[in-house]
Structure 1
Amino acid sequence: MMKLDSLKDAWKVYAAQTAAAHQVTEDQISGLMKVRTENAVTKLKTNIYFELGVQLFTVLLFGVGAFFTENDPVFTGICALVVVLCLPFLAYFWMRLMYLKALNVSTANLRATLRNLIEMLSGLTRLYFWTNMLLAPIGLVAGQLVYLKLANGINISHLPWEQMYLRLTIGFLIGAVVGYFFLKWYIRKMFGNHLQSLRSAYCELESLEAAA
């Protein structure tokens, strides 16, 4: 009987030591969330670099188009309009990138960092969605005209506009519908998943602080 009691006591000591060895401390949890936050920031930087590349390519492409089509003032105007619309996006994403590059993620200010990131990313997704919802229909209309110019060599300034109204109106409506669903998918893919991850980390950190 004494041997059995000794065995039970030894097992309890061993179990307690094992549990202590595998116990996750608050600092370890904070460290893990710091790593998650840093990973999200790294992926956000990559996505913003991609957006900057797209905007810069568009500005250069349509800038060249505007420069070499002086004999077609309507097409030149379309190219110039695209450049003007893209430049604010270029500046905005550049500022967001500089913000992320200057961000110092540490466990000491992790909660404030997460809150600021969530606010920044929420504002970015809202702005990106609504501005592009306005621009998507216009973009499809402009795309039709650019296609006529490049594929068929038509001088857009000499188009019979009275015959184009129905076609352009249909393009505008299609652009609005397609743009809505595409933007929903694209924003979720590029930014929405990261935003959800940051929100989850923020909630976990709040729960950890409340339990402390």
Structure 2
Amino acid sequence: MELDDLKNKLKDKLAASCERKEDLLAIIHGRSGQTIGRLKRSLAFEISISILFAILTLLLMVTTDNPNVRELSGFLFIYCLGFVVYMWRVWVQVRRSGSIYSSSMLDATRKIHDTLSQYVKVCFLFSMLAVPVVWVIMIRFGMKEAKVEKGDPFIFFRQVKFQILLAWLIVWSLFVYFLSRWYLRKLYGNHLDDLRDQIRELENG
């Protein structure tokens, strides 16, 4: 009789432990779903802003009479368009990976984390690659102006205009670097850290 009571107590403890484990996993699943939702909204917001900026640069390119502004806005339009295409591919990939009803929550969360972590790296690289291109375009503008005014494009490098432009480009480049790091951290970094912690909890669950 005592043996039966002991078995029943062990069964009750085991059942209670399983229920607590299932409740804990359900909580983790819910938190992961919320974090993934925030990451998707961040990506959708960035796609919308990039499309809007691409439209504005296109309008500026076709309406301006200044050839320098047209060249710069043309570069920015192509740059934004390429970035929008890449972001859309990431969006589709995240949507497919996030189908938790067709795959396990752990696998889906891992795929989304890996996809968006890679996206953040590429996004930062995109921002930094634009810096030297803008440098070249702006210096070319100065050389073209010096050729028209003085007949020698290289005289631009001996003018005060070049020193002012150089200082402006250095400050602008540092601004882009730190803004990109802060912006990506604010939009994705904290959520990706949360997702990484939730992956560990799912693995240990």
Band the TM-score falls in, shorter-chain normalisation: 0.7 to 0.9
Alpha-carbon distance in 2 for matches of 1:64, 1:89: 18
Q: Residues 138-160 of structure 1: CA distance to partner in whole angstroms, max 9, x if unpaired? A: 55897x89xxxxxxxxx999744
From 29, 48, 66, give the equivalent of 2:43: 48
Are 1:79 and 2:76 matched, yes or no?
no
Given that 2:47 and 2:87 are in contact with CA atoms closer than 8 Å, whether structure 1 keeps it comes out as yes
RMSD: 3.3
Does structure 1 residue 180 correspond to structure 2 residue 174? no
**Mapped partners of 1:25, 1:56: distance in 2:** 47
1:57-206 matches, cutoff 5 A: 57-69=52-64, 71-102=65-96, 103-106=98-101, 109-136=104-131, 159-160=145-146, 162=156, 163=159, 164-206=161-203
SS in 2 for 1:168: helix
Equivalent residues of 1:37, 1:114 under 8 A apart: yes
Q: Which runs of 4+ in 1 moved over 3 A?
A: 20-24, 136-142, 155-161
1:25 is paired with a residue whose SS is helix
**1:96 partner letter:** V
Equivalent residue pairs, number? 182
In the alignment, residue 106 of structure 2 is paired with which amino acid? R
Instruction: Answer with 168-177 or 80-89: which moved more.
Output: 168-177
Q: TM-score, normalised by structure 1?
A: 0.72
The answer (yes or no) to whether the contact 2:94–2:115 under 8 Å persists in 1 is no
Distance change in 2, residues 1:66/1:179 (3 Å): same
* Shift, 1:101, TM fit: 3.0
Cα distance in 1 for partners of 2:169, 2:203 equals 46
- Whether the 8 Å contact between 2:54 and 2:80 is mirrored in structure 1 is yes
Q: 1:141 to 1:35 in 2, by over 3 A?
A: farther
Consecutive unaligned residues in structure 1, runs of 5 or more: 1-12, 146-154
The sequence identity of aligned pairs, in percent, is 22
Aligned equivalents of 2:143 and 2:102: distance in 1?
A: 61
How far the C-alpha of 1:81 sits from its partner, in A, is 0.5
Measure how far apart 1:124 and its partner are. Answer: 0.8
The structure-2 alpha-carbon separation of the partners of 1:167 and 1:137, relative to structure 1 and needing over 3 Å to count, comes to farther
Sort the Cα spacing of 1:197 and 1:171 in 2 relative to 1 into closer, same or farther, 3 A: same
